Amino acid sequence: MKRIFAIGIVFFLSHVALSSDRLTGRTDTTRSVVYGTHGMVATSQPLAAQVGIDILKKGGSAVDAAIAADATLGLMEPVGAGMGGDLFAIVWDAKSGKLYGLNSSGSASRLATADKVRAMGYSEMPSFGGIPVTVPGCVGGWAELHQRFGKLPLSTLLTPAIRYANEGFPLSQVIAYYWKRGVLGLTDYKNFQKLYAPDGRIPAAGDIFRNPDLAATLGKIAKRGRDAFYTGEIARRIVDAVTEAGGFMTLADLKDYRPEWVEPISVNYRGYDVWELPPNGQGIAALQILAMLREFDLRKMGHNSVEYLHTLIEIKKIVYEDRARFYADPKFAKMNLDRLISREYALERLKLFNPRKAMQSIPAGEGILRNGDTVYLTVADGEGNMVSFIQSNYLGFGSGVVPERLGFTLQDRGALFSLKKGHPNELAPGKRPFHTIIPGFVTKDGQSVFSFGVMGGSMQPQGQVQVLCNIIDLGMDIQEAGDAPRFRHGGSSQPYGGVMEDGGTVYLESGVAAEVRRDLVRRGHKVAVTVGGYGGYQGIWRDPATGVLAGASESRKDGCAIAY
């Protein structure tokens, strides 16, 4: 009898072990939720997260910690971000009980026109070199956020990044993977190779990388603020580098640059208000998808069932046709945002939805982008303030253009302009391109609840929606919601040109069941199972009743959530 009982225990335990090695959480969850009360930072690189925590411990605000962490990420994760790129942020100010939105994306030079680029022989914007370089908005964004919400001096916030740049830091694994890909893909850019492959060697995971040029640049900004970047020697080197690489940039473009404070927009999803920034970003796509998903019972369908995936994929297709047609700089293109996220419009567009068959082509209504690499971070402090913060060079390291001895590469965000005459997103002087990076935020009953983001080009609205549905519809905790297997639909019509052909492709992570993949194919979807390209999620949930913070950082990146 004892022997039979023992065999039964072994069988039971082995069965449990086969399904999950964790005692808590879903079988695909990689780690526990992190909890704290005094503050929390979640980023895609652990050392940067620790920098943010150190700033909070010194009495800094959530925004102070976000700036310090982002400056460190620009050094440690240049495959996604840096001073040569743009940033967007949504800030919850506990004192006023209000959300503030900052659009710190840069515009095309006053010298840049679509006619000039077409005359060079291009039918669409190039991805690298000087032509797609737009004014970097990152440092201007730091200055605006710091002036409004900062507590500690800017020099204090930049000191950790300066120290790491001089002393060096060891590369983490995922970043090292993308670092190698970037260096091998940008062999024509000498300054880039000199900076990121010193002595002709590509650093690997665990290797120490130093960037004294970046330390010197950060030191000047620490002393003089934004003017050190947008005027003087740094500005001249940026202009010289872009001009030499065949692009358009003037000293006046840099000197005149100012970020813009904007009003976040929202839809109510099952009692939660989900907030995004308005265009020129793509955040409204997440809101349009949610406005349509309100009409379905996703809980009843079940997570990643064929009905669930088919519904989300088809609605994504519908919304991305609007995205390709209408999303652009609102100073140059008119759009009715209220209508686009209304229930009336959602129901009208849902007439296209077929619950049994995949759509192969879709018309835009009224009124897959190339994949980009980005860093997302979120911070909460002990006073109830939170910031959802996203920053990017666009395509990995960006344009490949590295100004002389500044220690960073310039973004290629202008690659997202259209060269199609009359398109709302057509390149024009002083115009901001369609933008992929979007910070997300959730409130409930007028209280801050969730600061989150999912980095990764066109994956971002898709990823945000999947995380939110996992939490709100399916009851997952914030770590489970990020770790759960995702889909990515690619091949939708693009804001810079091109149309969806044959319905695009549905990419699935390996955790999606084989029978579900087969059923999607039967419904007319083209399906591929791939590793990578599903975004990078960080999130902080705040309990309004207790003030307890819960943090999550998914396994697809190197990062972590740290609390104190």
Let me know whether 215 and 282 are in one domain.
Answer: no
Asked if residue 402 and residue 362 are part of one domain, the reply reads no
Is 52 inside any structural domain?
Answer: yes
Count of other CB atoms within 10 angstroms of residue 519:
17
Inside any domain, residue 113: no
Domain shared by 347 and 492, yes or no: yes
Per-residue burial over 472-510, b if 16 or more Cβ lie within 10 Å, else e, is bbbebbbbbbbbbebbbbbbbbbbbbbebeebbebbbbe
Q: Are residues 308 and 189 in the same domain?
A: no
Q: Do 159 and 207 lie in a common domain?
A: yes
Supply 52's token pair: 């943010």
Q: Are residues 461 and 516 in the same domain?
A: yes
List phi, psi (to 5°) of 14. -65, -35
Do 533 and 520 have their domain in common? yes
Number of domains within the chain: 2
CB atoms < 10 A from the CB of 247, how many?
26
Looking at the domain assignment, is residue 555 inside a domain?
no
* pLDDT > 70: percent of the chain: 95
Does residue 367 sit in the same domain as residue 451? yes
Q: Which domain holds residue 530?
A: 262-371+437-546
Q: Are residues 406 and 517 in the same domain?
A: no
**Do 400 and 409 form a contact (C-beta atoms < 8 A)?**
yes
CATH number at residue 334: 1.10.246.130
Does any domain span residue 508?
yes
Confidence of residue 348 (pLDDT cuts 50, 70, 90): very high
Of residues 289 and 497, the one with the higher pLDDT is 289
Distance CA 173, CA 275 (A): 33
Q: Distance between CA atoms of 253 and 257, rounded to whole angstroms?
A: 6
Detail the DSSP E strand segments found in 270-363. 272-276
| 9, pLDDT greater than 50 | no
Exactly one of 29, 134, 374, 378 is catalytic; name it: 374
Q: Is residue 553 part of a domain?
A: no
307 in any annotated domain: yes
Q: Tell me whether residue 231 is one of the annotated catalytic residues.
A: no
Same domain for 205 and 67: yes
In a domain, 110, yes or no: no
Type of residue numbered 349: R
pLDDT band at 19 (very low <50, low <70, confident <90, very high): very low
Q: What is the pLDDT of residue 500?
A: 87
Are 365 and 386 contained in the same domain? Answer: no
Question: Count H helices, E strands: the chain?
Answer: 20, 19
Q: Is residue 526 assigned to a domain?
A: yes
Q: Are residues 194 and 220 in the same domain?
A: yes
- pTM to 2 decimal places: 0.94
Question: Which of the four pLDDT bands, split at 50, 70 and 90, describes residue 12?
Answer: very low
Q: Which amino acid is at 399?
A: S
* Residue in the block written with tokens 């693009």: 494
208 CB neighbour count, 10 Å cutoff: 10
